[in-house]
Structure 1
Amino acid sequence: MPFFSSPLSRNFPGRSSVRFARTLASLALVSIACTAFDAEAISRRDQAAVDALVERMTAAEEKYLDAIVKLGNADPAGTEQANEALEDMEDVVQACSEQRGCSMPSMMVTFKRLLKQSADAEAGDLVVVEAYEPGHGNLLHDVPEAARAAALLASDDRHQFDRMVRYNPAVQEGIRRWLTDMRDDLMTSHENYQYMRHLMWPHYERAGLPEALLFGIMAKESNGRVHSTSRAGAAGPMQFMYATGKRFGLGEDSTGFDTRYDPYAASGASVAYLNERLRELNNDIEMALAAYNGGEGRARRIHRENPGQSFWNEGLYHQFPPETRDYVPMVIAAAWLFLHPDEYGLSLPRVDVKPTALRLEQPASIYQLTICLGNRGVRDGYMRALRNLNPRYQADDVIPAGTILSATTRIAGLYRRHCLDGRRAELARTLVASDPTAAIVRAGAASPAGSAAGTAAAVAPPRQTGSYKVQRGETITSIARKFGCNARELAAANGIRAPRFTIRPGQTIELSGCRL
């Protein structure tokens, strides 16, 4: 049984609850942005358009309520119908914001009814969620997703998330740090998370764990960089140590890939780990986070020796190392900012992250794709997104044509426009194929000044053989570049199979045909 299950999550079907929250959020935001409507009479045409929008909203509400009935009767068609109804509501919201004479507050009535229906159905068991009114409270605190998150951390008065952030100086300091020196890390974490959200969030949602907690852990552990590795050996977006990861299903698969770097697998493992810690530590979020960072054995011992004490109790708190005492409030602070950005004037980056499959029509590396894609729409380009979505490939691996990569619709569109042919595509190929050793002119070599052919002849030493021990972080492509080899020929000579070209640190590579 999951640690926490909200009535909202039972009444609102899966993704529909998320869409409902977003629709309510967008409606409230637009109502804030819109000024009070001028009392002058509107034209008949405008009034007719407003009446039509009201009818559409009413029809969408009826459609949604009918879908809830179907879901209650285990009819799978209910989910699709609910999503369609909410999409209809989103369309009405957008049209209302653009239509003269359309009153946003009147549109709120539908959402208030839906929220009240959920409350009535689960009377006494529901975290009360009130509709947003301009100037009264924070919007993100009022939507179902945020209510579920707050309920986990504040259930039975054991974890009052709001109070802890507002009155706990350690968490307040964490918020200050995220908003000042670490603001760029927070922004990077949020941008990276959006690309991976569809891979990571479902595990937490199914377990009833809040999305904000997932974001907070990921932001503090890796900033959302899938290939992050610590000096201690923790790896991946959730920074699992090897032995701990193995206990929860992570490690090398049949191809040799370490699934700690896979955001989907790592998220699932982190849910299993957190739920195990919560069962052991009396559902104490702070202690579970302390175990995540400082070791579960230590956390169990401290918890056993200090029954009923919170993480913030002096005798308990100082038994954790300084790193853990810093880690816990920093995770909570990031989670709070994820839920309440507006309170702090924080504008979190939004990017187009609609997932899609991208089939490579030509061999290419992620480096090459990064260059030809450019950075339209995002400040830092798409290398991190491609690496996070395709963790099995190193950035300089030559990925064969026909390979299906995980991408977004924007990336796929830019790929077709700029990466197949044309000046930018050719430039990208030239840059990634450049060999820095070709810039070195050997003593006594005679070549015409400025002659590329002469320079190439002057610096091309005879092919030799030898061996090389693979170092940490190296790939077959980087080794080939280092020794002047053809990567595919080098892989074939050593029995390294495409498309992964997997090698491991300490492995001996025969440098047959390389220019040493």
Structure 2
Amino acid sequence: MNPIRFMVIAALLPAALLLSACGSLPSQPDEPERVEITEETDTVRLADAEQTLLGLEEATPFPDLTPSRDIPVGESPPSEDIWGRVRAGMGMPDYRHHPSVQPHIQWHLCRPDFIQRVTARAEPLLHYILEEIEARDLPTELLLLPIVESAYLPFAYSHGRAAGIWQFIPSTGRHFGLKQNWWYDGRRDIHASTTAALDYLQQLNQRFDGDWLLALAAYNAGQGTVARAIQRNERLGRPTDFWSLDLPRETRQYVPKLLALRSLVEDPWAYHVELWPVPDEPYLELVQLDGQLDLAVAARLADLDLEEVYQLNPGFNRWATDPEGPHHLLLPRDRTPAFREGLAALDASERVVWNRHRIQEGETLIQIARQYRTTVAMLQSTNNLRGSNIRAGQYLLVPSASEPASTYTLTADQRRTQTQARGPAGRVQHQHLVQAGDTFWGLSRRYNVSVQELARWNGMAPGDTLRPGQRLSVWLSSDAGPVASAGPPQLQNPAARRQTVNYAVRPGDSLASIGQRFQVSVADIRRWNNLGNGNLIRPGQTLTLHVDVTNQGGGA
């Protein structure tokens, strides 16, 4: 046989054998349920940390994935892009022929677009994260770990309450200094979470004497789980390497998933896999702000779409950065000079809009906080209030968004609304107003749905806390019939759901904020009150609203 032809056949044979089995691949556990969005920790949530390899969706469309060229068999692809640099820095063992790794390689060969879609989405982040990895002299395979964890979805959240591209649970995130509050979740902050994840991985690697497979297993299952498995094997006189340990099923799949990705990135030409070309040059820069900043103002100064600012800085839950910090943003490097110049020239009053709110008779801090989409703690801090006692006629300074709420499309509230509006085909949406004592388990029994479904429809995890006044979406079978309810009933007649409300405009109100509060459109408010196309309203003015009584929750 011609030796060149033999070499070509030898190179093609492994891929051909793997591809031949595509039809028999199981759909589980690698096919996740669709990505959802939440309110409680205000993140997009993946159904299962073990199920992050297929069917992931997000609002931003993927770029054109047509390969730019074919890679000849036996040739190394060009190394001008970031993947050559990743290959040069790999430091983990090559286990591509291990029987536990082979099925995951096969999975990718049967779905060749997955790794391209994920790396195309991650492109703005990859060089930044790779430099953080290299600065610590860590194996560059760690750049692939967020693919296994979250598919590089910036708002990813698992049913186990793990958030962000590195999937920190709340307690571990706090242990590594990731702040989590109403304004901000550091588990989703690309800069902060990457620092924390690499700190954690370094600690685990040292804990397990430089064995990266054990360190990765511990990152997934916890170091106590791995340590106990090692101790069991030691008592039984068995080997204590990763492959010999009795670990949770998810962890036994988790490490081979990363090793499979490592093999594809190291030898894409051998598997006929085309990697998304990522330039080997810096794209992002960390910019210090020295104080709170409205994200719409940041977008204007950087000449970016507001959605892009949120995608690069998914840690921010609201319309502005956290007033208590961190005071930083990740921005494209080519936009940072103009941004810094504009920020330096910005008057302090332009960084965040401040409203002077006159307290009305009977108002509470909670009501005022909801009106301005802020927190009681923020009002107390800003106005030097030690308690919650306020008096009618006094004034409060309140930070407020410079744009209508609908402009900030990736805030926690907006993402929650989008998720709750998406349900399974053939089902009818029911709005449930959470009452004191409600639990996911109790509501699942009441509506005859699973806890997992109920949490997913609302972008939450089953372990999240329900708050009285919170509004949940429940998607019921179209033939389910009336729902017995301890709270407001689900009214089947659309006309019966409508109630006329005479609303007195308060200082700081806008048509957009009133529309959001009562879940009606600005156009409808104008039509009901003969306002024409204008937006001008005055405190004390009475507006007539026709609201859906089943669609009124406790949100601001």
Q: Identify whether the pair has TM-score above 0.5, normalized to the shorter chain.
A: no
- Identify which of structures 1 and 2 has the higher relative contact order when contacts are C-alpha pairs closer than 8 Å and 6+ apart: 2
> Which one has the bigger helix percentage?
1
TM-score in terms of structure 1 length = 0.45
